[in-house]
Amino acid sequence: MNLFRTTCTYSLLTVFIAVFLWIGIFYTPVVSGQELQPTLISDSEGPIHQHNSFLYADIDTLRQQVYLFIESGLWRFNLENKQWQFLDSLKNRPDDIEHYEFGFNTPKQKLQLWSHGVGEMYDISLSDYSIERIDNSHNHRNQFGHAPFFHKNGSLFAFGGYGYWNWKNIITFYNEKIREWNIQPIQPSSDLPAPRKPLAVAYSPNDDKFFLLGGNHPEKGRQDDQYTKINLKYDYWTFDFKKQRWKQITNYNWPNLNFYESQQLIQFSKTNQISNTAFSTDSHYWYLPFWRKNQSKDVIYLKPLNVETGQAAEPILLNFGLSREFLPVNFLYNNSRKLLFVGLDYLSHTSTYPIRIYALDENRVSNAIIPQNNAPNTWTWIIIAITLLFIILVIGYIYIRNQSHSTIKTEKKSVLESLDRYEWLNESEQKLIHFLQRSDAFKQTHEIEEFLWPDVNNYDYRRRMRNDIIKSINNKMQQHLDLDEQLIINKTDPNDRRKKLYGINPDIN
């Protein structure tokens, strides 16, 4: 019983230590992300947004200018002198402009439009602001909701999307030489992300890789029908253009966050996908906007993600000031270590909103970054369960073993106390067992021999009889009582290692 109690004590101590270490590693109290207040940089009179109309914006990082395309036309904000300039009304825009994407092609130094499902392609001249269709293609209607980005060679790329009752995981690009769209080659042995409408992508010209975050995809790869269930996941992938291979980095578990999509707000009919996140080519941090579940959609958080390590940081609250409510639409990086937020002052009970630009120094963001203490994933729970099960099994084994030994020992002890009842032991055998049992110490051979055969003087004969009787006793006890051990055992005499001492097995006696 004492051994069992000791075993349980140490086992429980082991469990508490394991749980304590596990809590220390995985469940350190989550530190809330910090709060940062961006600076308003567009104080001058600027464009006005009409309620429930489109708002497109992108940045020319070389000339430090932000281009804005809204219902009234094309605007430009100079980041150096902090002034707005109206450029043109763009009356020759394509019909249904909300069905087009908009972006600034920095390598080509062009403003471009392309159809929301890819296919049609337009250049907006920066000299006379004419709009010219440049493709020989058609409106594909094959990649609605795609994630676009401009490659360092100036080609427009589009990943994923939805079309013709199917979700896509293809990468397409506009081939300027033939004025058509092509599919990006991928190594046959490469992994592939699930078909989806992606949340966001970012491109790193230095590494020639693009990064994919999450998206909405159909359950089990189904086509779109009334029974198809759509799942949202936050998986993180990279595509290496040099190797032409996909690689999945991780899956994120962000149950309390919703990806920020300004297009869901009633103030906008359409916003452009290419600037829904900001990527820093300097720090390799990708800045992702989120809402917190069960909070007002006026409260926006920025979640930094290191694209090299896949490490996500705690969300950072963006405080745009208490005097106004600001709704960001476009998230830009200007290659001067600044994040830019293009959006509007949200004034209730009005149909027009002033468009503003805020800036936030990336060094301030870097100082506010707190690595996320991710909740344990499925494998962590499996490892914990296996560890606890192993501990329970060890405790159970030790308990059963001790109980078994205790039972056997009790049974064997009662056996020795009832030797007279065993007719299969002869008189000399019973006499020897009683002699050894009454002794507190192991006996020398001559003591046993003189006790059993005092009249026999022949040493060799007595030795042979002693060996025979001990062997006979052990065989009979094992045969009739089903003992696993020998009843009479020997050990070396500590005073003379050439001699043996004999006695009753202490595990039985």
Q: What is the DSSP string of 429-498?
A: HHHHHHHHHH-SSPEEHHHHHHHH-TT---HHHHHHHHHHHHHHHHHHHHHHH--SS-SEEEEEETTEEE
Q: Quote the pLDDT of residue 392.
A: 85
Report the share of the chain in percent with pLDDT over 90.
52
- The most confident of the ranges 213-217, 261-265, 489-493, 502-506 is 213-217
The answer to whether residues 449 and 455 touch, using CB atoms and an 8 Å cutoff, is: no
Determine the Cα–Cα distance for residues 33 and 24; give it in Å rounded to an integer.
20
**429 and 310 belong to one structural domain:** no
Q: Which residue has the tokens 């890819």?
A: 118
Determine the Cα–Cα distance for residues 507 and 410; give it in Å rounded to an integer.
10
Q: Quote the pLDDT of residue 376.
A: 47
Question: What residues contact residue 40 under an 8 Å CB cut-off, 6+ apart?
Answer: 321, 356, 357, 358
pTM of this structure: 0.68
Span 446-479, pLDDT tens digits:
888 888 888 888 888 888 888 888 888 888 888 8
- The most confident of the ranges 72-86, 220-234, 339-353, 457-471 is 72-86
Q: Is the pLDDT reported for residue 276 higher than 80?
A: yes
Span 312-323, pLDDT tens digits:
999 999 998 754
Determine the Cα–Cα distance for residues 287 and 301; give it in Å rounded to an integer.
10
Determine, yes or no, domain membership for 356.
yes
Span 393-443, pLDDT tens digits:
878 777 676 665 555 445 545 556 666 677 788 888 888 888 888 877 788
**45 and 122 belong to one structural domain:** yes
| Local structure of residue 336 (DSSP, 8 states) | S
Q: Quote the pLDDT of residue 494.
A: 87
Determine the Cα–Cα distance for residues 46 and 56; give it in Å rounded to an integer.
15
**How much is the average pLDDT of 278-302?**
91
> Positive or negative CA dihedral for 304, 305, 309, 311?
positive
Span 230-241, pLDDT tens digits:
889 999 999 999
**176 and 60 belong to one structural domain:** yes
Amino acid at 400: I
Q: Which residue has the higher pLDDT, 151 or 345?
A: 151
Span 325-340, pLDDT tens digits:
788 999 999 988 999 9
Question: What residues contact residue 500 under an 8 Å CB cut-off, 6+ apart?
Answer: 445, 490, 491, 492, 493
Residue 133 belongs to domain with CATH number: 2.120.10.80
**Which one of 352, 375, 398 terminates a domain?**
375
**How much is the average pLDDT of 98-125?**
96
Residue 440 belongs to domain with CATH number: 1.10.10
Phi and psi torsions of 413, nearest 5°: -65, -40
Q: Quote the pLDDT of residue 9.
A: 57
**How much is the average pLDDT of 148-162?**
96
Determine, yes or no, domain membership for 271.
yes
The answer to whether residues 163 and 140 touch, using CB atoms and an 8 Å cutoff, is: yes
Closest CA to 350 of 328, 329, 331, 324: 324
Q: Quote the pLDDT of residue 173.
A: 98
**275 and 367 belong to one structural domain:** yes
Residue ranges making up the domain that contains 40: 28-375
Determine, yes or no, domain membership for 122.
yes
Q: Is the pLDDT reported for residue 72 higher than 90?
A: yes
Q: Which two tokens stand for residue 459?
A: 């040493």
**52 and 199 belong to one structural domain:** yes
Q: Is the pLDDT reported for residue 509 higher than 70?
A: no
Q: Is the pLDDT reported for residue 140 higher than 80?
A: yes
Q: Quote the pLDDT of residue 373.
A: 57
Span 3-27, pLDDT tens digits:
455 555 555 555 555 554 444 444 4
Determine, yes or no, domain membership for 95.
yes
Q: Quote the pLDDT of residue 408.
A: 47
Q: Quote the pLDDT of residue 417.
A: 65
Q: How many CA atoms lie within 13 A of 9 on its CB side?
A: 6
Q: Which residue has the higher pLDDT, 17 or 80?
A: 80
Q: Which two tokens stand for residue 177?
A: 């030489």
Q: What is the DSSP string of 29-88?
A: PPPPP-EE--EE---S---EEETTEEEEEEEETTTTEEEEEETTEEEEEETTTTEEEEEE
Determine the Cα–Cα distance for residues 304 and 282; give it in Å rounded to an integer.
14
Determine the Cα–Cα distance for residues 509 and 503; give it in Å rounded to an integer.
10
Determine the Cα–Cα distance for residues 236 and 311; give it in Å rounded to an integer.
11
* Numbers of helices and strands, H then E, in the chain: 6, 31
Determine, yes or no, domain membership for 360.
yes
**How much is the average pLDDT of 36-40?**
93
Q: Quote the pLDDT of residue 28.
A: 38
**486 and 429 belong to one structural domain:** yes
Closest CA to 132 of 165, 92, 95: 92
Determine the Cα–Cα distance for residues 347 and 429; give it in Å rounded to an integer.
108
Q: Which two tokens stand for residue 192?
A: 């592939």
Q: Quote the pLDDT of residue 29.
A: 38
Long-range contacts of the stretch 305-312 (C-beta < 8 A, 24+): 305/213, 305/236, 307/202, 307/204, 307/211, 307/238, 307/279, 308/284, 310/236, 310/249, 310/250, 311/371, 311/372, 312/252, 312/372, 312/374
**How much is the average pLDDT of 123-150?**
95
Question: What residues contact residue 401 under an 8 Å CB cut-off, 6+ apart?
Answer: none
Q: Is the pLDDT reported for residue 2 higher than 90?
A: no
Q: Is the pLDDT reported for residue 163 higher than 70?
A: yes
**107 and 155 belong to one structural domain:** yes
**6 and 109 belong to one structural domain:** no
What average pLDDT does the structure give for the chain?
85
Determine, yes or no, domain membership for 439.
yes
**192 and 205 belong to one structural domain:** yes
Number of domains into which the chain is organized: 3
Lowest mean pLDDT among 76-90, 100-114, 370-384, 467-481: 370-384
**83 and 12 belong to one structural domain:** no
Determine, yes or no, domain membership for 509.
no
**21 and 70 belong to one structural domain:** no
Q: Which two tokens stand for residue 90?
A: 């763009």
**391 and 430 belong to one structural domain:** no
Determine, yes or no, domain membership for 44.
yes
Q: Is the pLDDT reported for residue 103 higher than 80?
A: yes
